[in-house]
Amino acid sequence: MEKLIEPKALYRRERIPLPTPEFYVFYNGNDKYPAEEILRLSDSYLVKTDEPMLDLTVKVININFPENHPILERCRPLYEYSWFIQRIKDYLETGKNRDEAIVQAIDDCLKAGIMADFLAEHGSEAVNMLYTEFNMEDALEVRFEEGVEKGITKSEERQSMLYKKMKKDGRIADYLKGMEDMDYLHTLYEEYDLM
């Protein structure tokens, strides 16, 4: 907005015309996901109203290569990114480890002219970002496996995560109330996206 509105305009009395914002999320995860979905911030509000004072609508578009969303035909950079990520996933499925899969996918991109300019300029940054992204998936999987080994159920692990998040938010009373009321505890799990 700072680039679109002259700083002195903030002192005007008249309404400042603004371009209409649009919000998108591009999904390329491994879970089954629809081609498009509309998410609303107000769906997460504890108290539902017909007209919330603040809301945000976001369109989520599944850009996984096999989904072949029409946006991939219209936007070459998204097509190339989707192709690249699919190569990594394919190599992981064949048994290559994460590092091998990423390096091989980059090599495939360079040979096919996919993202070539981007990789030439930002190759090491892209690789570091991918290592971080794929490491997070590994970390979550290992954490869950450790919990199972220690005899911690998924429900207990969710409860522990909920307690930590609510402690950070200063909402321990809500957590304690939830311990007595399973329906409310379920609501808290949903609120903190632990389902």
160 and 183 assigned to the same domain:
yes
User: Residue 151: is its pLDDT beyond 70?
Assistant: no
78 and 148 assigned to the same domain:
yes
Q: Which residues contact 131 (CB under 8 A, 6 or more apart)?
A: 98, 99, 102
Model confidence at 126, pLDDT cuts 50, 70, 90, reads low
Q: Are the C-beta atoms of residues 165 and 187 closer than 8 Å to each other?
A: no
Structural domain for 131, as ranges: 73-152
Which residue in 86, 44, 42 sits closest to 63, CA to CA?
Answer: 86
Tell me whether residue 67 is in a domain. Answer: no
Looking at 37, 62, 87, which one is the last position of a domain?
62
Tell me whether residue 130 is in a domain. Answer: yes
How many domains in the chain? 3
109 and 133 assigned to the same domain:
yes
What mean pLDDT is predicted for residues 48-73? 94
194 and 143 assigned to the same domain:
no
148 and 77 assigned to the same domain:
yes
Model confidence at 70, pLDDT cuts 50, 70, 90, reads very high
Tell me whether residue 57 is in a domain. Answer: yes
In this predicted structure, what is the pLDDT of residue 184? 62
Does residue 81 or residue 180 have the better pLDDT?
81
166 and 146 assigned to the same domain:
no
Tell me whether residue 20 is in a domain. Answer: yes
What mean pLDDT is predicted for residues 148-162? 62
In this predicted structure, what is the pLDDT of residue 119? 77
- Sign, CA torsion 165/170/176/182: negative
User: Residue 172: is its pLDDT beyond 60?
Assistant: no
Neighbouring CB atoms inside 10 A of 178's CB total 21
89 and 100 assigned to the same domain:
yes
Tell me whether residue 14 is in a domain. Answer: yes
Rounded-to-integer distance, Cα 82 and Cα 57, Å: 24
What mean pLDDT is predicted for residues 113-135? 71
Rounded-to-integer distance, Cα 25 and Cα 59, Å: 6
DSSP state of 157: H
